[in-house]
Amino acid sequence: MNSNINNEYHKILKDIDENMSNENDIEYAKKKMYELSMMFVDELQTLSDKYEDKMNAVAIKQNEMENKIKKLENDLNNIQKEFYDEEIDENEIFEFEITCPYCNYDFTVEVDDRKKEVQCPECENLIELDWDGFEEEGYCNGSCTHHDLSCNEQEDGCCNGNCSHHRHEKYADDENQEDDDDM
């Protein structure tokens, strides 16, 4: 491109020499052509500098983005290691919180799938533990409506008061006494 501009510039100067007869006019025209060409060169340099500045800014942003991507990849790898690659310690003790269905006392017990029931430390009632989370057909899991009955009252499909989730007469009588006291 530069050689084309240079060639055209020299053609214009030659054309001025050939078509103008007065030496003062020729020098004046050449001087003005030179000034005009320098303005173009300066403008091209300014555009080139702006282009270079923008390219540098893009390179800096690209570098920042690549660093952020590397950090995110590192964080994701750490998350994966933390959640998926971590070996489980068989001896580690896990606990969960239970709310007693009889007295609403909150307490924690160790997870042990061999235990089928746990005693409430507050009211001492036995609470059945269902580690599998499924119900056998005909088995009462405490979610039916007859649990406000005393153990000697039965409905069809009930466990006949043989499970620990029933409200026993002793505690039902205590609650009735408390209700009477509140009046």
**For the chain, domain boundaries:** 2-85, 95-182
- Burial bucket for residue 140 (CB in 10 Å: 0-12, 13-18, 19+): buried
Does this model's pTM top 0.85? My answer is no
Least confident range of 14-28, 87-101, 124-138, 152-166? 152-166
Least confident range of 86-90, 104-108, 109-113? 86-90
Question: What's the mean per-residue pLDDT of the chain?
Answer: 76
